Chain A
Amino acid sequence: MRNIKGHKVNIPSLVIEKCWGIYSQKYEGIENNLIDKIELPTKNSSINLHKTGAFQIPISQLNKLFKDPLATYLISDNTNRLVIKLKTKVVLRGIDYYVGMQAISNEEKSKIIFLRLFDMVEILDKVTPESDITLYLALLDYIRNYLLVILYAIHQCVRELGLTKELKKPYNALLELINLIEQAYLNSLLSGTKGNIRAHPEFIPWLLALEKYLEKSLLLVKGNKKLAVDMFRRIRECNNPAKIFQFAQSLSSVYLPRNSLLIGIEYGGIELPFAVNAFRKMIGKSTLDVITINLSSYSIGSNKYVDTIEDAISPFVSIKELKDYDTVVIMDDSVTTGRTIEYLVNLLPPNIKSVFLGVVSFTNTNRYHHLTRFGHGGVNPLVIQNGIALYKSNFTQTYSRESYTNKRGVFDKEKNQIIKMLKHVYSNLLI
């Protein structure tokens, strides 16, 4: 990884268009070196992933599962909302994983999230050495998913309503819990065995405080329709455990000075800095400070980019704190035009001397119309080469400058698969 600060991140659309032969070759060169196969790090062959990124168990294995609270909670759940039972397998992400997809109010979504979260934290404490490893990973997957959904919702509310003193402690507890779960999750993914994480009950009061805060805030922000729609995101991009593990591993192997700051771009990249820190801890490196950034301003009721770094950083961090760093690592799920990254780089204070970039996925050769659309452009290939990019992205081939999708209206293949599956199983529950 090398500093990208001297390089322009976004190359204008007209330049991309005129030099498409050259840029597509450069992009192709990068894409040829990306990882083709998505593989879990563990040698435990009983752990399998569905194509949507969820853990899965073959139907034939259901009878062999050890009957404990974990199996009862996930598999014998009568509501069928936690898992999807297909003909040959059980997919361990049901409609309650994708709460944002449900056709209910934000208040109801919040209730489901916290109810499930409290249940799951309790179940986590009942995991025994005999418990099934895939179900254990699915439980951690659910918990971390809810924690990240909550983290994002709280950021949205605080950006709109301002920070209250009472929120700081529960917020810090939330971050601590995310770190803990992320460590357990990556550890188990690597070892193929269950970890021994306990002491969760102490988090319950803090989570309750956050639930109360959200309950109150949701009422206050009801008038802001854009914010209300965006409060609980439907699907998190790059939510494949194998990809996240690989990303965390790659980034952790890079030397970073102590005064480095890990920045995750919301929402697709919100988990990445936590995953990197978890991996760093696993290999005996010190953890680094983390912030997440949102470059859309909902408080003004539009999706326009924000003007200052203060508008973008997680509302619990002050601009003064950014003065403590001279290196940042920007992380996102994917990069296409590079506009978001460039915008962020330009907002960073002058004390930041080194900017590194890590993205999980990248593919631009199939996005000609997207890149050459007025005002869009494409990412500078050298910026990708100087950073870390691991997988090909899930984006479809474009066919016109008027649309980001392919002819069938699909933009992200993985998201499309998730939506198709959910529609098939829960048609009446979705937005």
Chain B
Amino acid sequence: MNIVFDFDGTIAKSTPYHRVAWTLLLKTMGLDYELDQLLPYEGSLKERFDSYRRIKAGFLYKDTRIKERVSSYFQIQDEDHLVRKIMDFKESLTVSGILKESLPDTLNNLGINLIPSLHYLKTHKAELGIISSTRETIISSFLYKCDALDLFDFIIGEESLTNSDGILLDKPDPYAKTILNNRKKAMDYYIGDNHTIDLEFANACGANFIYADYKADFLVLVEKIISQL
């Protein structure tokens, strides 16, 4: 049994980490803007914040002064390079935020009963993985903090979903299926919090889709999966 989870909004309430990191990035760069002015809420993205398209729109195309500021901070002109630099910076701040946070606060952002349910799945010899567009370093840091990193057999994040041409083949693109095959891994169930993208992704990869978010009781969910076997 191969069970794969989405990260943002599914096993973790991760928005606060992303928001704090983005806000700190704006402050560090001396950009006097509210985060929502640069990266406005998009319902379809739900808990997921980072997207190269949105960063380009907010940081590079919205106002030339913002672009100039960012460009001068990193001493880079090339737009793609600049966006990657922004993301690297934000990644470090997100990882730092997670690792510096108090443990009770981190655990508070973890899906309900996620860890016992993962242990439960492991006793049924399940292979567990994560496929998410968030960076693997961020996912790993969060799971490390919750002492859950070793429970996952693989994590496929933004870095793995980026092909050799540097193009991110995000969900619902089934590129992750190729990665899974290359790593000799499989996906029977995909558990995610997005009825549109995650469902389409599961279908494209030939997996069953199960809806769940971090507010769901994962023990109940896992019980259901096991009982169906």
Contacts and interface: CB of A to CB of B under 8 A. Distances in A.
Chain B binds chain A: yes
Contact of A382 (B89, B99, B100, B140): B89
A371 to B, nearest CB: 14
Instruction: Assign chain B's interface to a size class.
Output: 20 to 34
Interface stretch (B90-98, B169-177, B204-212, B218-226): B90-98
Nearest to B89: A382
From DSSP, what is the main secondary structure of chain A's interface residues?
helix
Contacts of A19: 136-137, 140
Contacts of A382: 88-89, 91-92
A380 B144 contact: no
Interface in B50-74: none
Given A12-B99, A14-B144, A15-B141, A7 B92 contact: yes
Contacts of A221: none
B118 interface: no
Contacts of A383: 92
B96 A12 contact: no
B144 A15 contact: yes
B137 A23 contact: yes
From DSSP, what is the main secondary structure of chain B's interface residues?
helix
A3 B24 CA distance: 12
Contacts of B99: 8, 11-12
A18 B88 contact: no
A6 B28 contact: yes
Interface in A19-42: 19, 21-23
A383 B91 CA distance: 12
A3 B144 contact: no
Given A19-B140, A382-B88, A6 B149 contact: no
Nearest to B85: A385
B80 to A, nearest CB: 16
Interface in B181-197: none
B149 A14 contact: yes
With most chain A CB atoms within 10 A of its CB, the pick from B96, B100, B159 is: B96
B32 interface: no
Interface string A357-392: 000000000000000000000001111010000000
A12 B144 CA distance: 8
B140 A7 contact: no
Interface residues of A, number: 18
Contact of B95 (A3, A14, A18, A380): A380
Contact of A6 (B24, B136, B140): B24
Interface string A382-408: 110100000000000000000000000
Contact of B137 (A3, A7, A15): A15
Contact of A14 (B91, B93, B96, B150): B150
Contacts of B95: 8, 11, 15, 380
B110 interface: no
Contacts of A18: 136, 140, 144, 149, 155
A161 to B, nearest CB: 37
Given A18-B140, A23-B137, A380 B155 contact: no
Contacts of B28: 3, 6
B89 A15 contact: no
18 contacts: A6-B24, A6-B28, A7-B92, A7-B93, A8-B96, A12-B99, A14-B140, A15-B140, A15-B144, A15-B149, A18-B149, A19-B137, A22-B136, A22-B159, A380-B92, A382-B88, A382-B92, A383-B92
Interface of B: 24, 28, 88-89, 91-93, 95-96, 99-100, 135-137, 140-141, 144, 149-150, 155, 159
Q: What are the 9 tightest A-B residue pairs by CB atom distance, in nearest-first order?
A: A382-B92, A8-B96, A15-B140, A18-B140, A8-B99, A7-B96, A15-B144, A7-B92, A22-B159
